[in-house]
Amino acid sequence: MKISTRGQYGLQLLVDLTEHASESHVTLASVGQRQDISVRYLEQVAVILRRSGFIRSVKGASGGYALARPAEEIMMKDVLQCLEGDLLVAEPLPPGVQENRLRMCLRRMVYDKLDLCIAGVIGKYTLAALAASPNADRDFMYFI
Amino acid sequence: MRISTKGRYSLEALLYLAFLPPNEYASLRQIGESTELSDGYLEQLFIPLRGVDIVRGIRGPRGGYFLGKPPAEISVGDILRAAESSLEPVECLTGAPCPRVDSCQRRLAWKELYLAINNLIDGITLEDLVQSCEAMDREYVI
């Protein structure tokens, strides 16, 4: 029951863009430095996030990326769904296929409930809620 | 967020054993007929489950397997934790060092997710599953 690195890094990129929304745009190099993720990997994830309308690219010599919509309107669930394909704990049943009795019982009583539970938690958070508060950031600087 | 096949098949095999009358056991072949799993694969699945006494085996040509505890005392969480290496959705919950751990809101959200998952699977026992299976059977007869 793991979230892939693609899902994690993609979310990390979006949260970083949220935390730096006051700047007109952010380069992937600076995100990579702050978040300790390779720029090459960020580029791959950024392509998916741009195609899906989460971020927009800013062209030019000092180009970069910015959120395409306000951080308050982007849900953690939608981001992960986009990057992971789906968030289901078991492969969905192809139409017309009948499962045996034990599997059907487990699907109903465990897998379907887990899917609802997972969607419930990650459906609560927006990018804005996942971004560090300014105070926390100051504490962090002080810690260094 | 898939549960591994190992986790799902372990649940299936143990749910089969949970239907056995007390003091009875099932051969690998019997378990395999209901779960569509091979003898060798079932034996592999049972290794970690035997380690935590969820399942016990009887050796020999007439041997077999039975639950190590009553079905009401084995939760889905116990089974998945034994079968899967870890249930944490992301590595940063397993204690990998991160300098932002105290202020990271994302980690809090992951932690909430992890706790919600645990809460759910610890609250479902094999006994609950047997009962819902039987309720499901009645549904289909009607």
| Alpha-carbon gap, residue A122 to A119, rounded angstroms | 5
Q: In chain A, which residues have their Cβ closer than 8 Å to the Cβ of B137?
A: 101
Integer-rounded Cα Rg, in Å, for chain A is 18
What is the CB-side half-sphere exposure of residue B7 using CA atoms within 13 A?
Answer: 24
Q: Which of A102, A112, A122, A130 to probe the B interface (max B CBs under 10 A)?
A: A102
| CATH 1.10.10.10 correct for A5-143 | yes
- Alpha-carbon span B61 to B46, nearest angstrom: 18
Q: Report the mean per-residue pLDDT for chain B.
A: 93
Is the pLDDT score of A136 beyond 60? no
Phi, psi dihedrals of residue A20, rounded to the nearest 5° = -115, 30
Q: Where are the domains of chain B?
A: 5-141
pLDDT of residue A138: 46
CB atoms within 10 A of CB A80: 23
Judged by a CB distance cut-off of 8 A, whether residue B28 touches chain A is no
Measure B31 CA to nearest chain A CA, in Å: 11
Residues of chain A whose beta carbon is less than 8 angstroms from a beta carbon of chain B are 1-3, 8, 11-12, 15, 76, 84, 87-91, 100-106, 108-111, 113-114, 117-118, 120-122, 125, 129-133, 136-137, 139-140, 143
Q: Cα–Cα distance between B106 and B39 in angstroms, integer?
A: 43
How far apart (Å, rounded) are the C-alpha atoms in residues B74 and B67? 9
Q: What is the pLDDT of residues A59-100, one digit of tens each?
A: 887 789 999 999 999 999 999 999 999 999 999 999 999 899
Reply yes or no on whether the pLDDT at B29 is more than 90. Answer: yes
CA distance linking residue A8 with residue B98, whole number of Å: 14
Among residues A66, A64, A53, A76, the alpha carbon closest in space to that of A126 is found at A76
**Cβ pair B116, B1 in contact under 8 A:** no
Coil/strand/helix, residue A129 = helix
Core vs surface per residue B37-64: b (16+ CB within 10 A) or e: beeebbeebbebbbeeebbbbeeeeeeb
Q: Please state, as a whole number, how many other Cβ atoms lie within 10 Å of the Cβ of residue A59.
A: 7
On chain B, the residues whose CB falls within 8 A of the CB of A129 are 105, 109
Under an 8 A CB cutoff, do A109 and B124 touch? yes
Q: Which of B1, B74, B107 to mutate to probe the A interface, most A CBs <10 Å? A: B1
Q: Which CATH architecture has domain B5-141?
A: Orthogonal Bundle (1.10)
pLDDT tens figures, B97-109: 677 777 789 999 9
CA distance B2 to A89: 4
Q: Do B56 and B65 meet the contact criterion of CB atoms below 8 Å apart?
A: yes
Domain coordinates in residue numbering, chain A: 5-143
**Collapsing DSSP states into helix, strand and coil, what is residue A65?**
strand
B139 and A CB contact within 8 Å:
no
CA angle B124, B70, B128 (to 5 degrees): 25
- How confident is the model over A24-61, as pLDDT tens digits? 889 999 999 999 899 999 999 999 999 999 999 998 87
Question: What does the alpha-carbon distance between residue A33 and residue A36 come to, in Å, rounded to a whole number?
Answer: 5
- Which pTM value belongs to this model? 0.90
* CB contact at 8 A, A76 and B109: yes
Chain B residues in contact with A118 by the CB 8 A cut-off are 1, 113, 116-117
Give which of B108, B5, B4 is closest to A129, Cα–Cα.
Answer: B108
